[in-house]
Amino acid sequence: MSESEKYIKTLENYTSVLGLRETQIAIELIKDHFSRSLRQKLNLRRASAPLFVSNTSGLNDDLGGQGHAVTFTMPHCPDEEAEIVQSLAKWKRFALKRYGFKPGEGIVTDMNAIRKDESLDALHSIYVDQWDWEKVISEEDRTLSYLEDTVSLITQAIFDTSYALKVAFPGLELLPSADVAIISSQELEDLYPDVSGSQREYLFAKDHTLSFVTGIGGKLRSGKPHGPRAADYDDWDLNGDLLYYDKAFDRVIELSSMGIRVSPDSLLTQLKASGEEAKLDLPYHRALSKGQLPLTIGGGVGQSRLCMVLLQKAHVGEVQSSIWDKASLEMARKYHIHLL
């Protein structure tokens, strides 16, 4: 049975716990509570972020070569092309320098993006919304233990939000705990050598509500990476993905991608490994390679993804408004899934 067929089978008895109006109220509660908890636990301040950047700035993210930004021109800047952001990983680091933030201080913003090449399904939309955060750290903080401690703070913020939601809407299930199982991508490959990276995540995640897979982007002992990761923002040895196992629909949902960012040395190493040394001519990469930007840790927590999980929704379109293909619309009608 294919993944699509398994998912369809789980929809046969699906009924949303909350109606349309209650869902909107609950989304507001989640976004208010989680953002406040995240700011408190990580010592972050809210910042305004761009919806688009110049295509010559080097600030946009090419998603490891997997995505092409939506571009447009402007009559008042005829010689310049703008790109709608796909992530804010690089912009945030520049912002921290501009604002003069010190180690232990950071920012969080509501990031809205368009990823036009995304394959549409129950978990993926061309519209991306997330809490994008970034924090200045010291050289001593560039360790796996610091990353893992930060992950624990984020999962505690998720659990706190689940508790507040349960109080407001007793019919919803409370997350069992904030505990997170941490495993490296190499350990996963050693456990399940004959399957893909996503299949390894599924097999491991089934035994844990929350799990965190570290070390994504670099080649493993098999000669292949666990999964794609851009070479110019996360340090491939100090990053990871936070995963939630959704028992009701037997699937893994990535809630967050995050990591300690590249240093000047690891930037050069990873650009060379990916054959992208030409990026060193771009303003962002030039400044970073010269040590002109602060050392940071950062990531994004999916707003729609978190709402899906905490509201026990079957489809991301139940918590965000986007454009869907005919097959998605027909499936939603058949199984009484109310797309916004």
Q: So what's the pLDDT on residue 63?
A: 60
Successive 10-residue mean pLDDT values, the chain, 340 residues: 74 88 96 96 93 75 65 79 80 90 95 84 90 96 96 96 96 90 96 93 93 95 91 93 94 95 94 90 88 94 96 94 90 89
Q: Which of 179, 204, 177, 178 is nearest to 189 (CA)?
A: 204
β-sheet bridge partners, residue 44: 106
Ordered structural domains, the chain, with CATH: 14-334 (3.30.930.10)
- For the chain, the distance separating the N- and C-terminal CA atoms, rounded to the nearest angstrom, is 29
Q: So what's the pLDDT on residue 67?
A: 63
Q: Which residues participate in catalysis according to the annotation?
A: 61, 115, 130, 241, 254, 257
In this structure, how many other beta carbons lie within 10 angstroms of the beta carbon of residue 287?
A: 16
**Does the model's pTM come out above 0.85?**
yes
Q: So what's the pLDDT on residue 268?
A: 93
Q: What is the C-alpha separation between 156 and 158, in angstroms, rounded?
A: 5
Q: So what's the pLDDT on residue 340?
A: 85
Per DSSP, helices labelled H in the chain are 3-10, 20-42, 89-99, 144-168, 185-191, 197-205, 264-273, 283-289, 303-311, 326-334
What strands lie across the sheet with 234-246, from one edge to the other?
Answer: 44-46, 106-114, 127-136, 296-302, 251-261, 234-246, 210-214, 181-184
Backbone phi, psi, residue 202, to 5°: -60, -45
Cα Rg, the chain, nearest whole Å: 20
